[in-house]
Amino acid sequence: MSDTQSTPKKRKGNPRVEFRLHPLNHAYLEDILKDGSFGGSKSEIVRRFVEEGIRRARREVGIPNRDIAAYGGPTPSED
């Protein structure tokens, strides 16, 4: 495998991604949190929105599915 390609590694826990949001967006997250429909914490809400955004972008751009088992996810028989 070339140096530019990386092999997915099975990890304990999920890798972290850190970013900053504008204070106005934090205020909106607090409003959404009070509703409770999208998660029980700001972290859960952000994770859900990011995951939904990634799925939407993949559909729009036409990025094919990856094999979830290669990333430590359940195989179809484990569902």
Domain range list for the chain: 20-62
Looking at residue 1, its pLDDT comes to 47
Structure-block tokens of residue 20: 């900053």
- Start-to-end CA span in the chain (Å): 31
Q: Which of 8, 17, 5, 7 is nearest to 53 (CA)?
A: 17
The per-residue pLDDT for range 7-62, each reduced to its tens digit, is 555 556 778 888 899 999 999 999 999 999 999 999 999 999 999 999 999 999 99
Task: Check: pTM over 0.85? Answer yes or no.
Answer: no
Residue 68: pLDDT band with limits 50, 70, 90: confident
DSSP class of 30: H
Which residue type is seen at 12?
K
Question: Which of 18, 28, 10, 5 has the alpha carbon at shortest distance from 67?
Answer: 10
